[in-house]
Amino acid sequence: FYFMHIPKTAGTSLARVIEKQFEASEILPNRARMDAEFEGHYPSTVRMSNAFSVSDFANCRLLRGHFPLAARTEFAQPPVVLTMLRDPFARGLSQLRHMTREQSRTVDELACDQLISRSFVRDFQLKLFVLNPESCAQNGELFEISTHAKLTRADLERGQQLLSEIEWFGIQERFDDSIRLLCHRFGWPEPTSNPQLNRAKKEEPLADETRRKLESLVELDREFYAFACEEFDRRFRAAFG
């Protein structure tokens, strides 16, 4: 299994559900090693290759991290891909608000920073689906991989095709339904309650200019997300009627 954890999509909550289906020794990186060796965060591909042994990878049944879909090409056998998507505007805004806690700048200031907004917001989810393996090989960190190139409608069509081919994906705005479909798909027990971790506190209203800026950066991602919602609904109805 490969859990492609897209930032700010309830991935931490989803990870808690997924990791219960595996032994800690079968997960790379497992929570204990993340806390002990990587300050509680996912390591880069470079740090992973240095920290884990050949036997660690041989015993791995669940690989997870902030990596693009193209990272699945590193597996000896094609893995089962799991991921969660979110409304692109909400995801991008959540990303910037998270960054304000690490930087002495406001959301409005970050949104106007072209390097940051193009790397962390612009069609971000679609970007992670269509990023090519060569870019993954040349860079170790997800955020370094985040290309500034503007995507095209051909990229959108390719992303939609790739999404339709993966075994399971969820929609954050339908989190409970997503977990239900996940457990149904793989025969896992449904949790009695679904965790809601890393939930953001209530934030200050967003300036109209910033809202327009962010909306303009996620136009293709919105179409990608709309396609995902339709595909998710089709799969959910096929499973449960």
- Which stretches of the chain drop beneath a pLDDT of 50? 136-140, 142-144
What is the three-state SS of 176-196?
HHHHHHHHHHHCCCCCCCCCC
What pLDDT, on the 0 to 100 scale, is given for residue 146? 52
User: Cα(76)–Cα(66) distance, rounded to whole angstroms?
Assistant: 20
- Hey, what are 160's tokens? 């939609």
The pLDDT of residue 202 is 58
Q: What pLDDT sits at residue 137?
A: 47
Residue type, 68: P
Q: Tell me, what's the pLDDT at 135?
A: 54
pLDDT tens-digit map of 29-48: 888 888 888 877 787 766 77
Predicted structure pTM score: 0.88
